[in-house]
Amino acid sequence: MDRSKLYRRFRTLLIANRGEIACRVIRTARAMGLRTVAVYSEADRDAMHVALADEAVLLGPARARDSYLNVERLIEAARKTGAEAVHPGYGFLSENAEFAHACLDAGLVFVGPTAGMMTAMGSKSGSKALMEKAGVPLVPGYHGEAQDEATLAKAAEEIGFPILVKASAGGGGRGMRIVRSAAELVPAIVSAKREAKAAFGDDTMLIEKYVDNPRHIEVQIIGDSHGNLLSLFERECTLQRRHQKVIEEAPSPTLNAAQREMVCAAARKAAGAVNYVGAGTIEFVSDGKDVFFIEMNTRLQVEHPVTELITGIDLVEWQLRVAFGEALPLKQDEIRLNGHAVEARVYAENPTKNFMPAVGKISTWRLPAETGGLRIDAGYREGDSVSPYYDAMLAKMIAWAPTRDVAIERLNRGLEDSDVRGIVTNIPFLSALMTHPKVRANAIDTGFIERELAVLTAAAPAPGELELCAAVAAIVNQERQAAQAETHSPWQTFGWMPVGRRQRSFTFRAGHGVGHGVGHGPEQKITLNYGSGPSTLVIDERELAFAIAPKDGGFDLTLDGVKSSVAAVIDGHELYLRTRNGRFDLHWVDPFGGESEEQAGEDKIAAPLPGTVVAVLAEEGAKLDKGAPILTLEVMKMEQTLRAPYAGVLKSIKCKVGDIVQEGVELAVVEPSGE
């Protein structure tokens, strides 16, 4: 094929993606002088990537299959805007050979490997066969064409349990199940096939021996059209949940120099088997002794920033230069490893509720400045809405330092200084993870988060003296600023009175108030004395002098001569505070009463978020044990199984497979057995 059809210089780039990766590609492309075109769905009209691009084209409705996965509309968007090239980002169509081929047919440069390379390496089954022929070490498994249950069951028995059932076209943990016994196999295959079909349009499965206490190691590679193929060191992505990466770091703290060279050489050999062009990742699993090939991702990875920080290479820039037809600017022996980098994925999800995705409007978005070795790749801003239609990742926070210990400290400080409100996020969970002594000691495997989940999601400590004083200070500070902005009158300024003293009482409870789904703590009272003379707070008969100095995002609170920095967000009677002791949610009890104690029952079997019913797992009239599965929803591209809240009889099912249901809609009724 004529190389000029595949690789040539262009001036206008369409980014066939959304969110953080679209924003990240746009920034590098514009820095290189390129004109950028964003695409968006109806749910993303006001999204950050749309605002950043030079032009933007509406693809269609919110559902990905009607917008971001619609090849014809993407090609038409390129035609309308004069785009000469397409960058697919990651996810969506980034590893879709048909899309790469459609771009070529439309005269567009596809920033990535060719359709043939994708077909060879993008299929987990196909790539394993290729690697076996090339002599790359493999995990024992089955990657054949026969997909009937009998064949898969026989293969599983021959390999030996535990095994891993995986979608051949998958990624991100979707269509993947650990199976520890023959009895679990068929339900796991059925569920994994269904999830894979919905996510990738392909339900082909492969089976691998499940490596106990595994570590996940991957190597970044990149090749050009001149025959150069480089490895850019390795990353460790062992900290995972649901087979999705949570924390990534580079280089791997597990490998020594000899092992590093061995795994990087194996990665180059794997990519060289198809004369690979573009950026990609060769993924391996390690049992602590040996390293086995598991798959190749023929695209940029979410975690690519850690590689960029230890090498000083902008991978998106190199992707674009390869697409221009240029040779890679460095040789293998010119690439240097410098320091250590760690990345955390910030998600809209609730770790205390099995990482249930969260939706809603971001009312507060405060992340620290990108200084001192800290980098933040974000796809959202304050005021943006998180919809149920796409992946729930909001941003990535990455820290670099000369050593791993310092990089972890920098990342944790960045997480501790972050305040995102309006939706539930995993930020406190990430901070707990980074401060866990076993993570610091690298004494982990891919099952670590599941084993330590109770510790990592432990309830926040009860608010103490500092937090109660800070709550009063936050209310007073807000009232004072509102009064000053309205009247500029000294009579409205807190603490200013010609004579006399006044007293004001406050009552708080830990957690949010009625309707927020958080349990109520005991009421705690505190009294404010103000007027002529110093202002004081009285708590448990202890009187404290205090002062407030406002600043962005909060204030400095001085209590008996000790100054503390406080971040604060107030939404009506709900307060969020971040002090040196951690993060706290408090409810300011209405001083005029009128609060209702009615709360939605936890026994209601309702849709936790908008989603699609993909399976009904029990029949009306069936006797159910507590925790028995009733139905499965697909929510934000992940399956969520709703279970019986107690032992009883399934009285009715109010939905059927294929139904699109809204948040809060009751889907089934269980009549308790009374036992």
Say if CB 109 and CB 7 are below 8 A apart.
yes
Beta strands in 333-475 (DSSP E): 340-347, 349-350, 356-357, 360-361, 364-366, 374-378, 385-386, 393-401, 419-421
CA atoms within 13 A on the CB side of 483: 14
Q: What's the per-residue H, E or C state across 82-142?
A: CCCEEECCCCCCCCCHHHHHHHHHCCCEECCCCHHHHHHHHCHHHHHHHHHHHCCCECCEE
Per residue in 308-318, is it b (16+ CB within 10 Å) or e — as a string? bbbbebbbbeb
Give the separation between CA 392 and CA 242, rounded to whole angstroms.
Answer: 14
Q: In this structure, what DSSP letter does residue 148 have?
A: S
Between helix 124-134 and helix 257-272 the angle, nearest 10°, is 110
Amino acid identity for residue 566 in this structure:
V
Q: How buried is 61 (Cβ within 10 angstroms: 0-12 exposed, 13-18 middle, 19+ buried)?
A: middle
Give the separation between CA 638 and CA 538, rounded to whole angstroms.
Answer: 50
Residue keyed to tokens 């001083």: 591
Residue of 24, 35, 177, 299 with catalytic role: 299
Residue keyed to tokens 């997480």: 415
299 is catalytic: yes
Amino acid identity for residue 5 in this structure:
K
Task: Say which residues have a Cβ less than 8 Å from residue 13's Cβ, sequence separation at least 6.
Answer: 25, 29, 34, 35, 36, 37, 83, 84, 85, 86, 87, 111, 320
Q: What's the per-residue H, E or C state across 250-297?
A: ECCCCCCHHHHHHHHHHHHHHHHCCCCCEEEEEEEEECCCCEEEEEEE
DSSP SS3 for 484: helix
DSSP SS3 for 597: coil
DSSP per-residue letters across 301-334: -TTHHHHHHHH---HHHHHHHHHHTPPPSS-GGG
The total number of residues shown for the chain amounts to 675
Give the separation between CA 251 and CA 343, rounded to whole angstroms.
Answer: 12
The DSSP H or E segment spanning 543 is strand 542-551
Cβ count near 629 (within 10 Å): 15
Give the separation between CA 616 and CA 667, rounded to whole angstroms.
Answer: 10
Where in the sequence numbering do the catalytic residues fall? 299
